[in-house]
């Protein structure tokens, strides 16, 4: 018969802990933090990674202008949606492949890696051929067909928390990607639906603590979609750094008042610059660094994409 070992200190039997449903995402099976490599940067280590750019890719000057601005302010990665999940079918749906081409042009110009959303399994090959990080939006966070397909992708996946998902459900969604063989998963807390209406969503900063306790995967915060208000983005970004997030995703637009999507929550380039300066100063107080602003000459090729 199998014998139970007994700890000398507590005299309690050492029964192996039951694994959660998100077993590969769990710290029980992988105690050390996962670090996802992003060009010359990595997420999940000491560098606090900032992804920034417009909600949607709208046009050449808008995308390239914003890309250059966020690069000069110290962003590590450029964001922009070419496939947009909109509540109304009559709202701007994104430029699809033309948008991906503009993102690729922006990468060429700035050296920034690109994160962009893929909404459908049938688009994964196309989006993967342009993007450096594949984003799964909140509305698709439990699209298990898409998650399974992304388990076979060769690029890192940025998985947003679903609008109504618990932390455990969120980790189970990540598990679908890990179980498919893709271990490069970055989680993103972007606020959840609650009874509160003073903000677009309710930013659950405690989830960062819960995720760090339960999982080894890196986790970033999107204060733009969480709050829906540009003037809340700075304070929530600083709070995210303080609570232990590995980075941020922030919406920035050169002319938010005419943005085709999410202008109210988008920072102007100068507001983003100011925020990056404060975050760079604050980061060492929380055991982090932001090295992009201290590098001498930002050049188009220095991010290694
Ligand atoms: C986005 O980041 O463009 C987006 C649509 O966000 P979310 O999926 O979090 O609503
Ligand atoms: Mn948006």
Ligand 2 is an ion; residues with CB less than 5 A from it? 55, 262
Residue 71 lies inside a defined structural domain of this protein = yes
Q: What is the mean pLDDT of the chain?
A: 94
Average pLDDT rounded to a whole number, residues 61-66: 96
Ligand 1 atom showing the smallest separation from residue 191 Cα: 9
219 or 293, which is more confident: 219
Give the distance (Å) from ligand 2 centre to CA of residue 137: 10
Pocket of ligand 1 (CB under 6 A): 55, 81, 85, 117, 137-139, 160, 190, 222, 225
Of residues 12 and 240, more confidently modeled: 240
Tell me the CATH number at 226. 3.20.20.70
Q: How far is CA 148 from CA 34, 115, 131, 178, 210, in A?
A: 20, 19, 18, 9, 25
Threshold 0.85, pTM exceeds = yes
User: Ligand 1 centroid vs 190 CA: distance in angstroms?
Assistant: 8
Whether 301 is in a domain gets the answer: no
Closest ligand 1 atom to Cα of 251: 2
**5 domain-assigned:** no
Q: How far is the CA of 24 from the centre of ligand 1 (A)?
A: 25
Ramachandran class of 191: left when φ > 0, alpha when ψ lies in -120 to 50, beta otherwise: left
Residue nearest to atom 6 of ligand 1 (CA): 137
Percentage of residues in the chain having pLDDT higher than 90: 90
Does any domain span residue 248? Answer: yes
Range of lowest pLDDT (100-109, 145-154, 289-298): 289-298
Task: Give me the domain span that covers residue 28.
Answer: 23-85+92-283
Q: Give the mean model confidence (pLDDT) for residues 281-300.
A: 84
pLDDT in tens, 156-197: 999 999 999 999 999 999 999 999 999 999 999 999 999 999
Closest CA relative to residue 116, chosen from 98, 137, 131, 96:
131
Interval between CA 208 and ligand 2 midpoint (Å) = 21
Closest ligand 1 atom to the C-alpha of 56?
A: 3
Number of H helices, E strands in the chain: 9, 10
Farthest CA pair distance, the chain:
73
Residue 262 lies in a domain: yes
Residue 17: predicted pLDDT: 77
Domains in the chain, number: 1
Cα 18 to ligand 2 centre (Å): 39
Of all protein residues, the one whose alpha carbon is nearest to atom 5 of ligand 1 is: 137
Describe the chain by its helix, strand, coil percentages, rounded to 5.
35, 15, 45
Judge whether 229 lies within some domain.
yes
Q: Decide if pLDDT at 7 tops 70.
A: no
Spatial contact of 170 and 187, defined as CB atoms under 8 Å apart = yes
In a domain, 112, yes or no: yes
Which ligand sits closest to the CA of 261? 2
- Ligand 1, from 138, 157, 201: best to mutate by most atoms within 8 Å of Cβ? 138
Q: What percent of the chain has pLDDT over 70?
A: 91
Do the Cβ atoms of 115 and 76 come closer than 8 Å? Answer: no
Q: Which of 14-18, 29-33, 81-85 has the lowest mean pLDDT?
A: 14-18
Is the Cα torsion angle 217, 165, 150, 265 positive or negative in sign? Answer: negative
């Amino acid at each position: 018969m199998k014998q139970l070992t007994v700890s000398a200190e507590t005299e309690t039997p050492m029964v192996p802990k039951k694994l959660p449903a998100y077993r590969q995402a769990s710290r029980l099976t992988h105690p050390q933090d996962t670090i996802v490599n992003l060009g010359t940067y990595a997420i999940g280590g000491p560098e606090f990674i900032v992804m920034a750019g417009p909600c949607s890719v709208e046009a050449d000057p808008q995308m390239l202008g914003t890309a250059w601005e966020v690069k000069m302010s110290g962003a590590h990665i450029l964001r922009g949606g070419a496939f947009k999940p909109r509540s109304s079918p009559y709202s701007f749906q994104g430029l699809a492949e033309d948008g991906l081409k503009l993102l690729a042009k922006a990468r060429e110009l700035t050296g920034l890696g690109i994160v962009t959303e893929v909404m459908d399994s049938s688009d994964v090959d196309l989006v993967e051929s342009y993007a450096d990080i594949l984003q799964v939006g909140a509305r698709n966070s439990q699209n298990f067909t898409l998650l399974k397909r992304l388990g076979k992708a060769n690029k890192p996946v940025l998985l947003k928390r679903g609008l109504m998902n618990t932390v455990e459900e969120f980790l189970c969604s990540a598990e679908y990607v890990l179980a498919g063989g893709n271990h490069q998963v970055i989680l993103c807390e972007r606020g959840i639906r609650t009874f509160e209406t003073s903000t677009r969503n309710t930013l659950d900063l405690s989830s960062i603590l819960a995720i760090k306790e339960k999982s080894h995967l890196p986790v970033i915060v999107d204060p733009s979609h969480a709050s829906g208000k540009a003037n809340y983005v700075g304070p929530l970004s600083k709070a995210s750094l303080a609570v232990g997030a590995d980075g941020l995703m922030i919406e920035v637009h050169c002319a938010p008042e005419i943005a085709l999507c999410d202008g109210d929550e988008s920072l102007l380039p100068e507001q983003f610059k100011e925020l990056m300066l404060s975050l760079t100063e604050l980061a060492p107080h929380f055991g982090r660094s932001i090295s992009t602003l201290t590098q001498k000459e930002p050049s188009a090729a220095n991010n290694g994409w």
